[in-house]
Amino acid sequence: MDRLLSMEVFVAVVELGSLTAAAARHEMSAAMAAKHVKALESRLGLRLLNRTTRRQSLTEAGQAYYARSKTILEDIRDAEQGAEALRLTPRGHLRITSTVTFGSLALTPAIADYLSVYPDVSVELVLSDMVEDIVAARYDVAVRIGEPADSGLIARTIGRYQMVICAAPAYLERYGTPATPDDLMQHQCLDFSYWSRRTGWQLSGDDGSQAGYPTGRFVSNNGQALRQAALAGFGVVLQPELLLREDMHAGRLVPILQPYWPAARPITLLYQKDRQALPKLTTFVDFLVERYTR
């Protein structure tokens, strides 16, 4: 028999004073209530109740078992109420991973706004352009650029990520402005370490074709470093519009080769299916979707 139900029946018998009343509380027959009490006594090898035709009373063992059972049942109710509150109210810790540029420039301000709305949630944000296994690394949610692989994770698109090609006015004045991707063969192309060494830059033509182009003398795993090299007039840079937007607006960098820019890619949130119901996650996902798709 269900041991916890038997304990609940036994506690009800003690508090209500009869098997009949305890049976009514648990919507069972008096005979079934008696079986639950007998099952406990059989398991313990002790008599819990002294029974007569007129009344019943606790034995010494029954008194001790009643006290412990009541405490255990109250602890279980507290645990269930706590779990229910966790399901209804956003609280707890979120581990989030994102690419460096999007995470530092766009996601961090969004997280700060989210935390101001939900004071019972805390966040750890890990920025890396290396793709990690979300489940193995125990992330609650990941922000990825590009079409996600079919990994069994839930994917939500929150925007588009545009790469742009720029160079400083001083560089273009000195070396000329490339008119076609092939002209880049004669220029310094500031390269990102995580791109394939075999393919280099991947640019799209009007006809949908793609081509790779050689790298220059400066390579870095950080977009900000490449931006600084471009601002210093050392070469042509291909980086996210998010990173170079202000420099282009201010004229510190000049956009070039616009017809050949890579097609914009989706910005995707990824998270596990079995965590979807947790309010700390669902509210965070909904917050980002609302922020970036409105």
60-102 pLDDT, tens per residue?
Answer: 888 998 999 889 888 887 777 666 555 677 888 999 999 999 9
CA contacts within 13 A on the Cβ side of 200: 17
Evaluated on CA atoms 38, 42, 44, 49, the torsion sign reads positive
pTM as predicted: 0.66
| pLDDT value at 205 more than 70 | no
Alpha-carbon distance 78 to 74, whole Å? 6
Q: How far is CA 92 from CA 21, 212, 270, 280, 281, in A?
A: 42, 46, 19, 7, 10
Which segment of 66-75, 154-163, 192-201 scores lowest on mean pLDDT?
192-201
Q: Which residues contact 241 (CB under 8 A, 6 or more apart)?
A: 162, 163, 164, 248
Alpha-carbon distance 141 to 96, whole Å? 5
The overall average pLDDT reported for the chain is 87
